[in-house]
Amino acid sequence: METWLAVFTGIVAVAFILQSIAFIGLYRSVRSLSTRLDIISKDLMGTVTTLAGDIGQAMVTVKEVLEGMQSVREKLVSTADIVQKRISELDYFLRDITDVARLEVARIQDAVDNAARQMEDTFELLHRGIITPVMEATAIIRGLRAGIDFFLHRPRTPSGASHLDEEMFIG
């Protein structure tokens, strides 16, 4: 039995040595992996820090741009308000000008109508007051002359007849 015990103890010792060698190998692998992870994490932290700084700068730039856009938007709103007021004033002005022009056209038309009526009245007055009485007086004088010529037996002159025809066309 002692032999068996020595063999069994030898086997356990060899197993223990193999296990120790395996643990040392695992320890070295884990240590190597830990070192690589430390390097990778340092690189990653550097990249993340740089990226965070860049994102921070980008956010500052975006904020400045947005503030500038806000200023532009306010200026556009202000300009649109001014343009709208000017257009309203222009519309009101054009409406007033149109109303004044209509009134002036109506006044001119009334003045022209009054002048035309006065001219017609003047011509009618001249016709009734001067031309008609003169024609009547001329007709009476001719009639008297024709009567006197008839009683005195004077022949009629052709020039008097044409002159009478001309006076008839005038009236």
**What residue ranges do the domains of the chain occupy?**
2-170
| Four-CA torsion 146, 152, 153, 157, nearest 10 degrees | -40
Task: State the number of CA atoms in the 13 A half-sphere of 22 facing the CB.
Answer: 6
User: What's the pLDDT score for residue 72?
Assistant: 83
pTM beyond 0.75: no
Q: How far apart are CA 132 and CA 167, in angstroms?
A: 11
pLDDT in tens, 130-158: 888 888 889 999 989 988 888 887 665 55
Q: Could you tell me the two tokens for 19?
A: 């296990």
User: What's the pLDDT score for residue 82?
Assistant: 93
**Residues of the chain scoring pLDDT < 50:** 171
User: What's the pLDDT score for residue 123?
Assistant: 86
∠ CA 139-143-144 to the nearest 5 degrees? 120
* Residue 155: φ, ψ to 5°: -75, 150
Contact 138, 167 (CB under 8 A): yes
Q: How far apart are CA 171 and CA 167, in angstroms?
A: 7
Residue 170 contacts by C-beta under 8 Å, 6 or more apart in sequence?
131, 135
| Region at 153 (left for phi over 0; alpha for psi -120 to 50; beta for the rest) | left
User: What's the pLDDT score for residue 162?
Assistant: 56
User: What's the pLDDT score for residue 158?
Assistant: 55
